[in-house]
Amino acid sequence: MVVGKVKIVATIGPTSEKTEVLKELIKYVDGIRINFSHGNTEEWKSRILNARELRSDIAVLGDLRGPGVRTGSMKPLTLNTGDSVEFRLAEEAVGNFVPIPNPSFFRVITIDDIIVMNDGRLRLRVDRVSGNNAVLTALTAGIIAQEKAVVIKGKDYPLPILDDYDREVLKFAVEVGMDYVGVSHVRSSDDIEEVRTELRRLGGDWIKLVAKIEGPDAVRNMKDVVCSSDYVMVARGDLGMHFDLEEIPRIQTAIIKEAQKCGRPVMVATQLLESMIEQPVPTRAEVVDITNAVTEGVDSLLLTGETAVGKYPVEAVQWLRRVASEYEDEVHVERDVMANITDRLALGIVQLAEDIGAKIVIYSRGGRFVEAISRYRPRVPTYVGVSDERIMRRLRLYWGVEPILIGNIREYDEGERETLNQLIRGGLIAKGDLVLLTHGVIDTYNDYSIRILRV
């Protein structure tokens, strides 16, 4: 297993689910992603179980499909620039038109709206709207096929955050013990709370929620969305369909800074290594893009099509790890102190460990103190012992943290000793190393402990 401070997540799909590929790929990642928009429960379960058989500590993220409008049943329709096409409220196309099963589309669109499809490659302009019909003109050439997302640039659909499909998916996520669920097309903290409430109802309150910021409402309500989530994703795919491309770098930076200000971990996703879907080596521009994200202080980087359907999934994760490792010690984050004592103490621990050159060793039961320490991006090795596999997997996606599983422990001091002994046995801490041992009991007494020792 290759360890890095910046964590890497790979989407598992048709090209990476093969045993020989997955076995190699999983050496370089900290988490895997399952895209619930494609496939079925049998496929998803197989991918998760196979990955965990190879790496029991792997974090698993599942992305909800989320609210949206998609085309109905139809034969592929090829459009050239300037072609006119009719969109009609229908489940299935019986004739030469595009069926849209959801009436919300026709309620939201207005003349001159831009419709974006196929990851932004196909753009159409709305010329006429009449009831449940609309006539559009293709601004670029492309193909419209069935079950494809229909995005209105700069607008969100007023749909419930969870439909019946996503509720069934959440039930599956609880049954297989997923660690994170990505909330797609989130618009406000109300959406986050609704998903969290549904998970509690299903008995999955350990699952943490990743707010995928990808639409105009989420960007407008950025602080509200970020601070109500457990993790944040800069979902550049949909952001690129709602905003002009030159705006995306500014939005990405704003999301990362807001996440750091709220003390939330953050990941960047989409087109990090897009060229590697077809080529074995990344472009120079992709390497610069990854470097920028790493130096801005992201916790993790997420590959999508590169590992799900690309020709070089293993090479993609190897390159991502290689570039991230080169620049992860050049992180630029503001070490602002939050008002609570936990964050103040966490910053003090990080600064003290760096000043004296000590490795940080934490024992944790819930992970909150670890999250606070990770937020300040310690430049020294940071290890955390936990007795709960779920917490171990969750912490796997936090910057600079290396979680290890230890046995059931009664007392915190005992947990510190066992964590340290296991690290010594594993060769991660050697004779002569300076170690800062710490723990924090946050929920009940706000009881903290710090000890410094030479091994």
Tell me which residue of 76, 191, 100 sits closest to 152, measured CA to CA: 100
Q: What is the mean pLDDT of residues 68-97?
A: 94
Percentage of residues in the chain with pLDDT exceeding 70? 98
CB 144 within 8 A of CB 157: no
Domain 7-65+161-328 falls under CATH 3.20.20.60? yes
Question: Residue 442: pLDDT above 70?
Answer: no
Q: Which two tokens stand for residue 89?
A: 């409220």
**How many C-beta neighbours within 10 Å does residue 334 have?**
9
Q: What is the mean pLDDT of residues 390-412?
A: 93
Residue 166 Cα distances to 37, 43, 48, angstroms:
9, 16, 18
- Among 70-79, 107-116, 125-134, 432-441, the minimum mean pLDDT is found in 432-441
CATH number of 77-152: 2.40.33.10
CB 96 within 8 A of CB 151: no
For the 341-454 domain, the top CATH level (class) is alpha beta
CB 228 within 8 A of CB 190: no
pTM of the model as a whole: 0.94
**How many C-beta neighbours within 10 Å does residue 96 have?**
10
For strand 300-303 and strand 7-11, is the pairing parallel, antiparallel, or unpaired? parallel
The C-alpha atoms of residue 39 and residue 44 are separated, in whole angstroms, by 7
pLDDT band at 385 (very low <50, low <70, confident <90, very high): very high
H-type alpha helices, 102-208: 104-108, 164-176, 189-201
Identify the residue whose tokens are 């087109």: 271
pLDDT digits (tens, 9 = 90+) for 324-362: 999 999 998 888 766 688 888 999 999 999 999 999 999
Question: Residue 440: pLDDT above 80?
Answer: no
Q: What is the mean pLDDT of residues 283-307?
A: 97
Percentage of residues in the chain with pLDDT exceeding 90? 87
Dihedral sign for Cα atoms in the order 228, 230, 236, 241: negative
Question: Which one-letter DSSP state was computed for residue 394?
Answer: H
In the chain, where the domains are located: 7-65+161-328, 77-152, 341-454
Question: Residue 120: pLDDT above 60?
Answer: yes
Q: Which two tokens stand for residue 119?
A: 């990851």
Identify the residue whose tokens are 């080169």: 326
pLDDT band at 444 (very low <50, low <70, confident <90, very high): low
Query: Would you state the pLDDT for residue 160?
Result: 95
Residues sharing a CB contact under 8 Å with residue 277, sequence separation 6 or more, in sequence order: 305, 306, 309, 310, 311, 312
Q: What is the mean pLDDT of residues 108-133?
A: 94
pLDDT digits (tens, 9 = 90+) for 191-228: 999 999 999 999 999 999 999 999 999 999 999 999 99
CB 402 within 8 A of CB 380: no
